[in-house]
Structure 1
Amino acid sequence: MIYEPFDESLKILTATKWEPWQKEAIRQVVPDAIFLEPDACRSLEELIFQADILFGSPKISPTLLAKSPTLKMIHLLSTGVDRYMVPEFKESPIILVNSRGVHGPLVADHAMALLLALSRSLHLAYEKQESKVWERLPIVDLEGRTAGLLGLGSIGKEVSVRCKSFGMHVVAVRRSGEKDPAVDKVFPPSQLHQVLEVSDFVICSLPLTRETYHMITITEFSVMKPSAFFINVGRGATVKEEDLIRALEQQMIKGAGLDVFEKEPLDPDSKLWDLPNVIITAHYGGTDEAGLKKSFAIFLDNLDRLKKGEPLRNVVDKELGY
């Protein structure tokens, strides 16, 4: 997608505070940039009505952002954009850019950490350690096992590389159904159950869209192996959480490793906290200082492209929702 170049100086707003190194880097691309940041005198909600560009992940309503007469582009530090998919923002002319590709290796590492912890009963071993109980726990040999990937974007492909290094067979569900050398076999969403039936570990990295909302329900858990583990590092609402709890309680699946949830933070009253076959992490699988700098590098590149009227990177398709 190509946009008209901008001749005037750009007012660039951050959702937090500008670091000196960020300002210096931006000036290399946009020498006459005007830097805006919220402070005691000016709130972020006020500044969005003055800024041309917004960098960061603002905790304000996308509906309010859509009302800005000046905003041309928003660069998010995250990959997920589901909260922005409201009619007002989708219909606005604001360009939405995400950090797709930045978090792939980080989140894939986190998915594998959950997979390995579950396969080696490390969550149960920690409980035994706390109680000073010496007990040999069951393990799952990964070699020859099947990993079923729900989603084959940057995270899914990185997960596949890691699974194959453990000698695992890898199959995947992909919206297009198009073959990919990263995995052994690709299935379209209409054949989701075929993937679930054969998988020993199901790793979900799907974005949240109209098509993926509650894609995994009790019906899907019922076709999985009773010995299978479910891992979610994508978006919480791709899974119907009450059905996941039911599947775990009734031992329809062996366990789950979860970094994302339907509602975050996870409610203290959620049954998930107390289930012995669940490992919970607080949606930090992609959090890393290096990731921030990689995202900022995309932002700098797009500033240069925006000034020149060249195609931008990582532009979100508001209709597809990613």
Structure 2
Amino acid sequence: MVMTIKVAVSGIPRGYQFPRSDLNWLQERHIKQIKSISSDIELFEVPPDKVPDNPDFEVVLAEGGNRTHYHGELDWKDYQKFFTSNLRWIQLCSTGFSDNITPEVLEGTVTLTNAPGIHTVPIAESVITAMLDHAKRLKQRRIDQKAHEWNQLKCDELYHRTALIIGLGNIGQRTAKLCKAFDMKVIGTKRRVEPVENVDHVFPVGELREYLAKADYVVVAAPLTPETKYMLDIPEFKAMKNKTYYINIGRGAVAREKALIKALKEDWIAGAYLDALEVEPLPKDNPLWDMDNVLLVPHDSHSSPYIGDRVMDIFCMNLERYVNDEPLKHVCDPEKGY
């Protein structure tokens, strides 16, 4: 007897540039890619705001399920609706999954997988863009142009500057590779100290404060875990040079926001590019909005025309494994946080 595998796709991947007005996003080539895996697959597109009560899907490709979500994503309540007795596997369209943990995931009756690497290229490019924007003083260039002022500026180079990367996963490693294209020195920290390609020195987290004093650019590319939450506080920001530029494209709560604001206000550091914040969307009364030395990005440094294709490649790789009863890749570990 042939058993149908009911697959649902719900929620528009964050950064995806071609959503449909009905809040679905699959293109014809994506649909063909999924269905080509097995004739037993029955595919459903489910708008994130129209999840039925008691659905009977076995597999779900989902974006959202967070307490804070964006338009086109599943909210927390609709995400939970998928967790019926029929559900076996949820594939996320993102890397972070701290809000996606349910009792079923913890019990092991539902497997949760994420999609590491889909945002690696655009986010790493955004990091280098932030560095160049700061070094070449592009903000002041625009101010001068608007004022019709022909001012020559004293700019910096990335050549031989030191980038310290907190978190040497896919994004951190890609960032290190791009930094090396500018002949930068790259140092970094990760949970397990071991050699990493394009990184000159990997050090344990316990030595972070010592190495922060050497960095011209501090890049947060780490997930939010019990170990990384608030790992940057007053002592860490005080350890940085006053010319250090801070870039966060990881998770906002890796730094205690009050400490970051104080460091920016009192010129302990030169400035910041903030794509990840402790509370999102950023409240209107947050002082970060009005700081001249801050560039705010609404958590979309990953925006790219290729997001959907990358999500689909990872999902279909795992879907083929699921159909063939093989172990899935990128299974989330709630205890580790990655």
When the two structures are superposed, what TM-score results if normalisation uses the length of structure 1? 0.91
Cα distance per residue 1:77-121 (max 9 Å; x no partner): 111112224666434522111110222121100111111101111
Residue aligning to 2:50: 43
Residue aligning to 1:24: 32
Q: Secondary structure at the match of 1:289?
A: coil
More deviation, 147-156/256-265: 256-265
Using CA pairs under 8 Å that are at least 6 residues apart, name the structure with larger relative contact order, 1 or 2. 1
Partner letter of residue 60 of structure 1? D
Q: What root-mean-square deviation, in Å, do the aligned CA atoms of Structure 1 and Structure 2 show? A: 2.2
1:192 aligned onto 2:187: no
1:266 aligned onto 2:266: no
1:150 aligned onto 2:158: no
- Rounded Cα–Cα distance in structure 1 between residues aligned with 2:105 and 2:290: 39
Higher helix share: 1
Cα distance per residue 1:38-80 (max 9 Å; x no partner): 369x922526x31111113032327825842222111111111
Residue aligning to 1:233: 249
Extract unaligned runs of 5+ from structure 1.
Answer: 1-5
Contact 1:118 1:257 in 2 (8 A): no
Cα distance per residue 1:145-202 (max 9 Å; x no partner): 1110101001111111111111111100111112223200001111111221110101
Q: Secondary structure at the match of 2:75?
A: coil
Contact 1:66 1:88 in 2 (8 A): no
Residue aligning to 2:335: 319
Partner letter of residue 37 of structure 2? V
- Rounded Cα–Cα distance in structure 2 between residues aligned with 1:216 and 1:197: 13
Q: Secondary structure at the match of 1:84?
A: coil
Q: Secondary structure at the match of 2:53?
A: helix
- Rounded Cα–Cα distance in structure 2 between residues aligned with 1:229 and 1:296: 35
Q: Secondary structure at the match of 1:29?
A: coil
1:56 aligned onto 2:71: no
1:83 aligned onto 2:99: yes
Contact 1:66 1:94 in 2 (8 A): no
Residue aligning to 2:175: 159
Residue aligning to 1:34: 42
Contact 1:30 1:303 in 2 (8 A): no
- Rounded Cα–Cα distance in structure 2 between residues aligned with 1:268 and 1:86: 32
Q: Secondary structure at the match of 1:253?
A: coil
Contact 1:203 1:233 in 2 (8 A): yes
- Rounded Cα–Cα distance in structure 2 between residues aligned with 1:73 and 1:279: 38
- Rounded Cα–Cα distance in structure 1 between residues aligned with 2:172 and 2:263: 24
Contact 1:80 1:207 in 2 (8 A): yes
Cα distance per residue 1:7-51 (max 9 Å; x no partner): 7221111114343322221111021212223369x922526x311
Measured at CA, do residues 132 and 83 of structure 1 come closer, stay the same or move farther in structure 2, by a change above 3 Å? farther
Partner letter of residue 157 of structure 1? Q
Partner letter of residue 181 of structure 1? E
More deviation, 297-306/53-62: 53-62
Partner letter of residue 9 of structure 2? T
- Rounded Cα–Cα distance in structure 2 between residues aligned with 1:282 and 1:38: 26
Q: Percent identity?
A: 31
Q: Secondary structure at the match of 1:112?
A: helix
Residue aligning to 2:4: 9
Extract unaligned runs of 5+ from structure 2.
Answer: 12-23, 65-73
- Rounded Cα–Cα distance in structure 2 between residues aligned with 1:148 and 1:291: 27
Partner letter of residue 28 of structure 1? S
Contact 2:51 2:81 in 1 (8 A): no
Residue aligning to 1:306: 322
Cα distance per residue 1:213-270 (max 9 Å; x no partner): 1111121100001110000111111111121111000000011111111111222221
